[in-house]
Amino acid sequence: MSSIVLASGNAGKIREIQAILQNDNILPQSQFNVVEPEETGSTFVENAIIKARNASQHCQLPAIADDSGLVVDALQGAPGVISARYAGVGASDQDNLQKLLRDMQGVPDEQRSARFICVMVYLRHADDPTPIIAQGVWEGRIMQAPAGDNGFGYDPIFWVDDYQCASAQLSPDIKNQLSHRGQALRILAEHLVVQ
Ligand code: IMP
């Protein structure tokens, strides 16, 4: 497989993606000084395509991008595509998580359903009209208070029913097996093999 640019600067994501796709030629866009585009889409798919197209155009290589976030039923899908900046631009994971807990105050347990979504896209070139799109969904529930130190983002308040604990209490290996990102990556990997 030839080189693919990854529209992400997150070292953890890059390692995860290289391992699952078994490809060392996945190069982070930071190596090419790609300027990150504005994520103007209102869906995960749109934003993932915007990021992949931008990277592909800049590097003249095939590109992979992902967009992910948390969707909460009681909040009509919020924080959704603005998960990373739910409490405002520049907000920390802690700020976002605390805002979500405040917004969910008084919501009973049976109405606290939520899911993590991850969309991964692969563009063969910037004008590719048929991107490969893979989506992973991880069902859970918003807890009343945080627990656990692993992971990032909303992991301390995402209840995982199968393991009876917060996502932040799972080992990284177990999280990868279950998570929206792991699922989307494995689906994408299957499609890339039959290319
Ligand atoms: P991005 O796809 O890296 O832009 O992530 C969007 C945001 O969604 C992150 O900043 C987190 O707040 C949230 N998020 C996405 N995936 C996860 C996860 O696996 N655990 C916790 N939070 C996540």
pLDDT at residue 195, rounded to an integer: 59
pLDDT at residue 124, rounded to an integer: 96
**Nearest Cα residue to atom 7 of ligand 1:** 84
CA-to-CA distance for 107 and 142, rounded, in angstroms? 10
pLDDT at residue 13, rounded to an integer: 75
CA of 69 to the centre of ligand 1 (A): 5
- Of all atoms in ligand 1, which is nearest to the CA of residue 167? 20
Q: What is the pLDDT of residues 24-81, one digit of tens each?
A: 788 999 999 999 999 999 999 999 999 999 999 999 999 999 999 999 999 999 999 9
**Nearest Cα residue to atom 20 of ligand 1:** 155
- Of all atoms in ligand 1, which is nearest to the CA of residue 66? 2
- Of all atoms in ligand 1, which is nearest to the CA of residue 13? 3
Q: What is the pTM of this model?
A: 0.94
pLDDT at residue 194, rounded to an integer: 54
Kindly report the CATH number that applies to the domain delimited by 4-193: 3.90.950.10
pLDDT at residue 1, rounded to an integer: 59
Given the residues 24, 67, 103, 155, select the one marked as catalytic: 67
CA-to-CA distance for 118 and 48, rounded, in angstroms? 9
pLDDT at residue 111, rounded to an integer: 98
Tell me the sheet residues that pair with 137.
117
CA of 18 to the centre of ligand 1 (A): 19
CA of 154 to the centre of ligand 1 (A): 7
Mutation test of ligand 1: which of 49, 68, 85, 179 has the most ligand atoms closer than 8 Å to its C-beta? 68
Torsion angle in degrees (nearest 10) through CA of 77, 81, 85, 88: -60
Torsion angle in degrees (nearest 10) through CA of 159, 161, 162, 163: 40
Low-confidence ranges of the chain (pLDDT < 50): none
The one-letter amino acid at 56:
S
CA of 32 to the centre of ligand 1 (A): 24
Catalytic, 173? Answer: no
User: Domain coordinates of the chain in residue numbers?
Assistant: 4-193
Residue 146: CB atoms within 10 A of its CB come to 17
DSSP state letter for 139: E
